[in-house]
Amino acid sequence: MNKIIPGILETKWEDIEKKIETAKILSKTIHIDIIDGVFAKNQTFLDPKPFSKYSNEIFFEAHFMVDNPLKFLEPFADAGFKRFLGHVEKMPDIAEFVAKGQLLGEVGLALDIDTNPADLKINLEDLDCLLLMGVKAGESGQQMQTRVFGKLQALKSKTFIPIEIDGGINDSNIVELQKMGADRFVSTSFLFSGNPLESFKKLVNLVDYSK
Q: Does the residue 10 lie in any domain?
A: yes
CB 134 within 8 A of CB 166: yes
30 occurs within a structural domain: yes
Residues near 171 by Cβ (< 8 Å), separated by ≥ 6?
190, 202, 203, 206
- DSSP codes, 33-48: EEEBSSSSSSB-----
Q: Does residue 64 sit within a domain?
A: yes
Split at pLDDT 50, 70, 90, the class of 121 is: confident
pLDDT of residue 209: 85
Segment 9-51, tens digit of pLDDT: 999 999 999 999 999 999 999 999 999 999 988 999 999 999 9
Tell me, what CATH number does 164's domain have? 3.20.20.70
Q: What is the pTM of this model?
A: 0.96
Give the integer Cα–Cα distance in Å for 163 and 133: 11
Q: What is the pLDDT of residues 125-141, one digit of tens each?
A: 999 999 999 999 987 77
Does 185 fall in a domain? yes
Domain membership flag for residue 211: no
Tell me the pLDDT tens digit for each residue of 158-211. 999 999 999 999 999 999 999 999 999 999 999 999 999 999 999 999 999 887
Report the domain count for the chain: 1
Could you say which DSSP state residue 19 is in?
H
CA distance 178 to 195: 23
Question: Smallest Cα–Cα separation from 13: which of 44, 59, 53, 55?
Answer: 44
Cβ atoms 82, 59 nearer than 8 A: yes
Host domain of residue 86: 4-206
In a domain, 117, yes or no: yes
